[in-house]
Amino acid sequence: MAASSDDRGNERAGGGDGEAEERTDGWMATYADMVTLLLTFFVLMFALSNVDNEKAQLFLFAMSRGGITAEQFMEIRERYELDELSGGEFDDLFPSPGTQGDLDSDYGDSVAAQALRDLHAQISEYIVDTGIQAEIKIEFDGDFLVLTLSNDVWFDSGSANISEIMKDRASMIGLLLAANFHVADPFEIVVAGHTDSVPINTPEFPSNWHLSSARAQNFLEMLMDDSGLEPFYFMMRACGEYRPVATNATPEGRQANRRVEVMISRARNLPAFDDEHLQEVTDTDTDTGTQEQSQQEDD
């Protein structure tokens, strides 16, 4: 018996006992993804066709300070005709590491980078003229200036007091530091104390940590006083015997490990120095001291 028109309609609609018809519109999702990607691609191409020259200069100048060679930088500069890309105003945003000497000399230099080179030259000259190469060793890689002071010369054995003859040396270093210091583009001065691995246990210095800390602090305070610079620019580290530069198995190695290091670099990561904030802190300390003194007098 022939099927009725209603039965045939039910079969086409997937009703009854027959299986549902398989959907064939799944390609739409893939097609939509492809169209979206094409749209994104053309938007990107449009954006690249309207490059802001100033932003391109900032970007490439930042890259030049981040590790590409001078040759690569020159190639990029010529390819995109960025003739005005020479540093200057961008130095404040992207300080140049001194290790890229050729690049810095060609495309501008910061005040602090030049001051660091001048400081290195002046201290080196002072060391040679006074014949104290054994007392102060100097290293300079363009980014960091490191002075290494032998504890055996600068300090009495087991003591944190700077010997009298070395005070004049410290004073001269402080004066040279101040002469080359620029508040607008300052240095950061880190003084680190080191010892050998021979234990110490005295009432004054229970461990090598305490001895290295006291020596670093004494030299930092003398350097700060002689230079006249604010404490804001100084930092102190106590390393004990845990950062040796030679073996502790020999007397010569232990002597090399007993040292104070003064690391001077551009102050890239320091917060902006605020004289008003410093004055507020000073005023607060003064008010606190006055209140404590008044309370003691009342008691």
Taking phi over 0 as left and psi of -120 to 50 as alpha, with beta for the rest, 242 belongs to alpha
Residues 214-254: tens digit of each pLDDT: 999 999 999 999 999 999 899 999 999 999 999 999 999 99
Q: Provide the edge-to-edge strand list for the sheet that holds 259-266.
A: 136-140, 144-150, 259-266, 187-194, 234-238
**Predicted pLDDT of residue 91:** 46
Measured distance between the N- and C-terminal CA atoms of the chain, rounded to whole angstroms: 120
**Which superfamily, per CATH, for 111-268?**
OmpA-like domain (3.30.1330.60)
**Predicted pLDDT of residue 281:** 45
Nearest in space to 232 (alpha carbons), one of 277, 201, 197, 175? 277
**Predicted pLDDT of residue 75:** 64
**Predicted pLDDT of residue 164:** 81
**Predicted pLDDT of residue 172:** 92
Residue 209 DSSP SS3: helix
Report d(CA 212, CA 206) in Å as an integer. 11
Domain ranges of the chain: 53-106, 111-268
pLDDT band at 294, cuts 50/70/90?
low
Burial class from Cβ neighbours inside 10 Å (0-12, 13-18, 19+) for residue 129 reads exposed
H/E segment holding residue 188: strand 187-194
* Higher-confidence position of 167 and 17: 167
**Predicted pLDDT of residue 262:** 95
